Amino acid sequence: MAKTIQEINEKIKKGKAVVYTAEEIIDVVKSKGAKKAAAEVDVVTTGTFAPMCSSGAYFNVGHSNPRTKLGGGTVTLNDIPVYTGFAAVDLFVGATAIPDDDPRNKIRPGKFPYGGGHLIEDLVAGKDVRLEARAYGTDCYPRRKLETWIRLEDMNEAVLFNIRNGYQNYNVAVNLSDRIIYTYMGILHPKLRNATYCSAGQLSPLLNDPLYRTIGMGTRIFLGGGVGYVVDRGTQHNPGVPRTDGGVPRMGAGTLAVTGDLKQMDARWLRGASFTGYGVTVAVGIGIPIPILDESILSHTAVTDKDIVAQVVDYSEAYPNCVPGSLGEVSYAELKSGSISVNGKKVPTAGLSSYNRAREVASILKNWIQEGTFSVTEPVAPLPSVDSGVKFKFMQERPILNNARVAVD
């Protein structure tokens, strides 16, 4: 009964596609069985809304008169330094960038009230931001100083380009030490007083297509409230980790690089976030449709929070010092119940990824497909999978002595 992408898109065009969210499909499969459900269902939509630090955006801000060579100069947008190492007026801002005069962690814990993530949110919300630039001046680009208000709509191009999003599973963070710690997994109170996790679990895109059978380079997706695309695997893509019998990775594994036109996005789905004592990031809404081409693809989308497990990691010692190992394995059903057991102790849990918003993303995407405005795509190339040999490496440091180069032995 295998279907093709073309057949599914024909049904979408006619407004006849059968679409469920990754949450709804669980009960559908339970009542109908995978075989029957696979024949009937065309698309399952997934969703996630969580902080994703390796996000950023590039802009072409247009040419001033007289012209200014921002390339190689220094530029800030609302005091956030942006990368200028391109041609004259192309800029890149990363989500974690912060103003030069932010006190950072000088007085711990730093607050990090405004950074690249907030800047992206403000631009998408249509707000005016302050562009201030110093340039060195050339014959063809004589101007050396530029200060202006600018909005997203004034720019030629404004494109979200995130090099690592949508992590397939993640650590559960705890603190075994006797002092409070401030991490990218939130504030962790001493002696196992709380645990934080960050995945939409049964709604999360890559947990519903664990072997990357339909999600690949070129896949059209919901990104930041608009339409975007998967560019490639994300950085740190690590498909070879241990998996459950269902193929679901037991820890952080695959990642995605994604892009999309910022001008059609919505600030509800790109939110600047301040992690006390850690820094700034941006919460990104991503939804990926999974075309149900066969029963095996369908079965994977019916994964439940009980079937997905994550590793509990100590962020006071083990994580900072790259000590491998886990304090235990817990399921997302346990994590979402409000407490887990670690070292025999009951530990309250809290999420960093919004399950509620993940559900909303999946249902928006479902509506787009049912209305016929969003069609599914066949990947141009697949993502490296389990047997690809692609592996996440730690850095091997080689000391530089007296400017000599030391080769790897």
Partner 1 sequence: MATKRLTFNFPPHLIDQPVTYQLITEHKLKVNILRARITPREWGRLVVEISGSKKNLDAGLQFATDLGLDIKPLALDVQWNADKCIECTACSSVCPTGALSVERKEMHVLFDHEKCIACELCIPACPYEAMQISF
Tell me how far, at minimum, the Cβ of 109 lies from partner 1, in Å: 7
Max Cα–Cα distance, the chain, nearest Å: 73
The pair of structure tokens assigned to 405 is 């180069």
Count CA atoms closer than 13 A to 378's CA, side-chain side.
8
Binding mask 349-378 for partner 1 (x = CB under 8 A): xxxxxxxxx---------------------
DSSP state at residue 213: S
Which helix (H) or strand (E) segment is 261 a member of? Answer: strand 256-261
Q: Looking at residues 293 to 352 of the shown chain, list those that interact with partner 1 (rule: CB under 8 A).
A: 336-338, 348-352
The pair of structure tokens assigned to 138 is 């050339």
Nearer CB in complex with partner 1: 194/264: 194
> Which string of DSSP letters, residue by residue, matches 113-128?
---HHHHHHHHHTT--
Nearer CB in complex with partner 1: 182/374: 182
Tell me how far, at minimum, the Cβ of 340 lies from partner 1, in Å: 11
Size of the site for partner 1 (CB under 8 A): 32
Cα–Cα distance, 78 to 150 (Å, whole number): 10
Binding mask 259-278 for partner 1 (x = CB under 8 A): ------------x-xxxxx-
Residue numbers annotated as active site: 140
Binding mask 27-56 for partner 1 (x = CB under 8 A): ----------------------xxx-----
Tell me how far, at minimum, the Cβ of 307 lies from partner 1, in Å: 18
Count CA atoms closer than 13 A to 38's CA, side-chain side.
17
Instruction: Please report the sign of the dihedral spanned by the C-alpha atoms of residue 123, residue 127, residue 130, residue 133.
Output: positive
Q: Looking at residues 159 to 188 of the shown chain, list those that interact with partner 1 (rule: CB under 8 A).
A: 186-187
> Which string of DSSP letters, residue by residue, matches 326-338?
-S-EEEHHHHHHT
| From 148-156, 192-200, 241-249, 259-267, span contacting partner 1 (CB under 8 A) | 192-200
Nearer CB in complex with partner 1: 279/291: 279
Tell me how far, at minimum, the Cβ of 45 lies from partner 1, in Å: 18
Nearer CB in complex with partner 1: 13/191: 191
Cα–Cα distance, 28 to 37 (Å, whole number): 7
The pair of structure tokens assigned to 326 is 């886990």
DSSP state at residue 59: E
Q: Looking at residues 387 to 406 of the shown chain, list those that interact with partner 1 (rule: CB under 8 A).
A: none
For partner 1, the binding residue among 8, 82, 195, 362 (CB under 8 A) is 195
The strand pairing partners of 258, in sequence order, are 162, 230
Report if residue 116 touches partner 1, rule: CB under 8 A.
no
Tell me how far, at minimum, the Cβ of 269 lies from partner 1, in Å: 10
User: Strand 195-197 and strand 345-351: pairing?
Assistant: parallel
Cα–Cα distance, 350 to 368 (Å, whole number): 31
Tell me how far, at minimum, the Cβ of 356 lies from partner 1, in Å: 4
DSSP state at residue 249: B
Residues of the shown chain interacting with partner 1 in the complex, contacts defined by CB under 8 A: 49-51, 109, 111, 186-187, 189, 194-196, 271, 273-277, 281, 283, 336-338, 348-357
